[in-house]
Amino acid sequence: MKINLILAVLCSFPTLLAQTTAPVEAASHSALKAEPRGGGWMKRHESMNKYAAAKQYDILFIGDSITQGWEGSGKGVWEKHYADKNALNLGISGDRTEHVIWRLQNGNLKNQENAKLAIIMIGTNNTGHSRQNPKETAEGVAKIVSLVRKGSPKAKILLLGVFPRGQKPDDKLRQLNVDINKRIAKLHDGETVHYLNLDSIFLNDDGILTKEVMPDALHPREKGYNMWADAMAPKVKELGGL
């Protein structure tokens, strides 16, 4: 009897070991692999975590340098449109989707269960850094949307198309962003997630991105932030953010 019991335990051991050591599903590409950065990036991340933990915000802006730019070229526009709207800027210059994923998993959404609106615009650095496959970048954006839905379940999500870059329509990096936008537009469900493409407001009739709007063909100057805020305002109001 004892021998049979021992044999039974030994026979079941490989199965139990396989169950307890099953590999965790890994991210299939870099745009999905949560990744922190160092130096000043971590300092800003921790600062945003402190802001998030200290109070509940109604509006969350999530993105890269273009979003962080509300504190730079867009500061006056922010004061006009959002300073009294209980909004938090969660943008960090240079971020790609993988960096935002890490931030959202590590404190940026703490205490934000009751946020009303999250405005997301991310992906142009995946394009600029490595000309990443737009399919991969779009999957990174989709992961960010899912994390916001989990961390701020009451929030409507205003998902912005990645802004145009490059002076001319045939710019290769702009074309990659256009491809990303075609893909992330499919995340729109008209209930929680609302997609909004603002490309047309920044471009002239010939599709040129002028220096008056974005002097480096990537980052808006104050005029560009004004255009952005004005064009977005009706949708923000509709979704309860203003």
The three-state (H, E, C) secondary structure of 196-242, written as one string? ECCHHHHECCCCCECCCCCCCCCCCCHHHHHHHHHHHHHHHHHCCCC
Spatial distance between the Cα atoms of 137 and 45, rounded to a whole number of angstroms: 22
**Residue 60 token pair:** 């969350």
β-sheet bridge partners, residue 63 = 91, 121
pLDDT of residue 232: 97
Q: Indicate which residue of 12, 47, 129, 216 is catalytic.
A: 216
Burial-class residue 74 by CB neighbours within 10 Å (0-12, 13-18, 19+): buried
**pLDDT value for 141:** 98
Strands (DSSP E) found in 70-200: 87-91, 117-121, 156-160, 193-196
Judge whether 21 lies within some domain: no
Domain assignment of residue 41, yes or no: yes
Note whether residue 190 is domain-resident.
yes
Q: What is the residue range of 204's domain?
A: 29-238
The per-residue pLDDT for 26 is 72
What is the per-residue pLDDT across 52-74, written as a single tens digit (0 to 9) for each? 999 999 999 999 999 999 999 99
173 lies in some domain = yes
Is 10 part of a structural domain of the chain? no
Which of the residues 81, 99, 194, 219 is marked catalytic? 219
Active-site option among 29, 30, 65, 199: 65
15-19, 24-28, 113-117, 199-203: the lowest-pLDDT one: 15-19
pLDDT at 20 over 70: no
Q: Report the number of distinct structural domains present in the chain.
A: 1
18 pLDDT band, cuts 50/70/90, is: very low
Is 84 a known active-site residue? Answer: no
Residue 170 a catalytic site member: no
Domain-located, residue 19: no
d(CA 117, CA 96): 21
Structure confidence by residue, pLDDT tens digits, 131-142: 999 999 999 999
Whether residue 152 lies inside any domain: the answer is yes
CATH of the domain at 67: 3.40.50.1110
143: its two tokens: 């992961």
Q: Flag whether 18 is in a domain.
A: no
State yes or no: is 29 an active-site residue: no
Enclosing H/E stretch for 60: strand 59-63
- Res 17: pLDDT: 32
